[in-house]
Homo-oligomer: A and B are copies of this chain.
Amino acid sequence: MKIAILGGDGFCGWPTALHLSNLGHDVVIVDNLSRRRIDEELGAESLTPIAPIEERVAAWREVSGGKSLEFVNIDVAQDYDRLLAFLRDEGIESMVHFAEQRAAPYSMKNSTTKRYTVDNNMNATNNVLTAIVESGRDIHLVHLGTMGVYGYGTAGMKIPEGYLDIQVTAREDEFGNEVEPYQVEQQILYPTNPGSVYHLTKVLDQHLFAYYAKNDRLRITDLHQGIVWGTNTAETAMDERLINRFDYDGDYGTVLNRFLMQAAVGYPLTVHGTGGQTRAFIHIQDTVRCIQIAIENPPAAGERVKIFNQMTETHRVRDLAQLLARIADAKVELVPNPRNEAAENELHVVNETFLDLGLNPTKLEEGLLLEVTDIARKYKDRADLSKVPATSLWTKHQHEGVPPSIAAGDSPAAPVDAPAGAPAAAPAG
């Protein structure tokens, strides 16, 4: 199958491209290299050394014995005409869409990053959808969304896969006359509660998908992904030139990667407050497998958007810290929480679709030590520890004691104290 990976130079896109190429598909990476540009803007860098895209692609062809992988530089948010020509000329059959700014803290830094995130993500998604329609090709689109669109689940209710069964009390007949109240059953898109501008763009994506699936009968799968952990997959581990990103900076690093860095440099894992926030996780190896499964199980034309929850485990932040402390011989330190936020939350998520379709999850408990030894310790001399703390203020009201909104998804929401030598974490008050 001919598959385009939009955003195929990024943390999830690159291992997905290699995984699908390894399975024998014809894979084309479409990327404008924006993630490398943002690294430069932030003065940050992946802990692992990332080869230039041309070198990565050439290395894969060499290491894999000539498997199919190409790269084209198109900004899908800006260059619609080239995107359309690409879809028409290359015979693309499936497309995986990672081509969005994906960090919540980056989206909250200032008005420029807020506006970039909305402008880039909305135009990327709408251009992709419009181009599929205009191409006239029956292309299955697989999109990477986030568990963060859900916000916190309803107390005492598992978060379903995208759609919620509701009952509504009707009090009129079809002519508008009052009658005895009766209940109407409906199934709707799960009501959203995004915690950042980044998460908001994934909410907007959902509505674009619902519309184009209905109006133009596009075949779309939307994957609501948890926090991705781990660095390498079977393919990226085959050669150091293929190694995947490891982001540990305050904007793009997740809570788990920052714990890993703290363990690697021998600094206590500092947990704010009770560490009671619960988050959903998935290993990068399972991410690429899920995308393969999604590609192999497209919806029919005219069917509504398929939504899967792409996560395998939920953990409390304090449990994660303790797990890591145990396997990496580090210490956990509970420190007062400078933020005014909900101390504890439960999170239960339905993820049966992928399990039923054969996903066999990598467990945090089993994979975490490898991350400490093979990645964090191995490359720790490349680290700039001053980049670890998050410095984005979620809202101007944070210093006034109004709680910031926290999403259930992939935002590195749990505050982590900085290692020694680094400036203190953000909150102003």
Point out residues on A near B: beta carbons under 8 Å: 80, 84, 111, 114-115, 118-119, 122-123, 126-127, 130-131, 133-134, 136, 154-158, 164-176, 179, 182-184, 186, 188-189, 191-192, 194, 197, 200, 203-204, 207-208, 211, 214-217, 302, 346, 348, 394-397, 402, 404-405
Contact = CB atoms under 8 A, between A and B. Distances in A.
A139 to B, nearest CB: 14
Contact of A134 (B111, B186, B208, B216): B111
A168 B166 contact: yes
A111 B131 contact: yes
A156 B173 contact: yes
A200 B156 CA distance: 32
Given A192-B207, A203-B207, A302-B402, 9 more contacts: A84-B111, A118-B122, A119-B123, A119-B126, A155-B174, A166-B166, A176-B346, A189-B191, A215-B395
Contacts of A154: 168, 170, 184, 186
Please give me the 5 A-B residue pairs with the lowest Cβ-Cβ distance, nearest first. Answer: A176-B348, A188-B191, A166-B166, A157-B170, A167-B167
Contacts of A402: 217, 302
A115 B127 contact: yes
Nearest to A84: B111
Nearest to A121: B122
Nearest to A166: B166
A151 to B, nearest CB: 10
Contacts of A395: 215-217
A346 B394 contact: no
A184 B203 contact: no
Contacts of A208: 200, 204
A128 to B, nearest CB: 11
28 contacts: A114-B126, A115-B126, A118-B122, A119-B119, A136-B396, A154-B168, A154-B170, A155-B184, A156-B182, A157-B168, A157-B170, A157-B184, A158-B172, A165-B168, A167-B183, A172-B348, A174-B346, A176-B348, A189-B191, A192-B207, A197-B211, A200-B208, A203-B207, A204-B208, A215-B394, A216-B397, A217-B395, A302-B402
A131 B112 CA distance: 10
Nearest to A168: B166
A123 B114 CA distance: 11
Given A80-B115, A200-B208, A211-B200, A158 B136 contact: no
A186 B168 CA distance: 10
B211 A194 contact: yes
A100 to B, nearest CB: 14
